[in-house]
Structure 1
């Protein structure tokens, strides 16, 4: 898939896709999820491991914990809270639905 095709699928400019690819722009977790869905790959494949002793799985696990803590502290309805938690789990572990 070309950068232009990906940009169209996720509603971004081609320039933004190039910037993300080259590390000049840092996508949100939601955007990473959109990219992984468009490319039909795991979100794990999109996250670089910068530390030799830290696996992608460990990084995502910690990220997931951080996100869930933020969600738990937020002032949203119980229904919205559950939806946010479910979305987070789908993003972090899409194969475990």
Structure 2
């Protein structure tokens, strides 16, 4: 997935980067969903009184991205084949 949108602030950009690290199977096709999730995550980090509805929306985004344990079990996670010995031992 590409870099965060240029209109993101510092907190939203940090949330975007965390999602890129935590959910590596996301692609450019998931961009709008990650924008929404990053905005909500940034809001959660800066607003201790974030509404229950907004938290529920963030949870729904996480589920759609395969970022919860139950949803992750249904994601086909690409394997990192950087190790040249993988072809001999797997």
TM-score (norm 2): 0.29
- More helix, by proportion: 1
Greater relative contact order (Cα 8 A, min sep 6): structure 1 or 2? 2
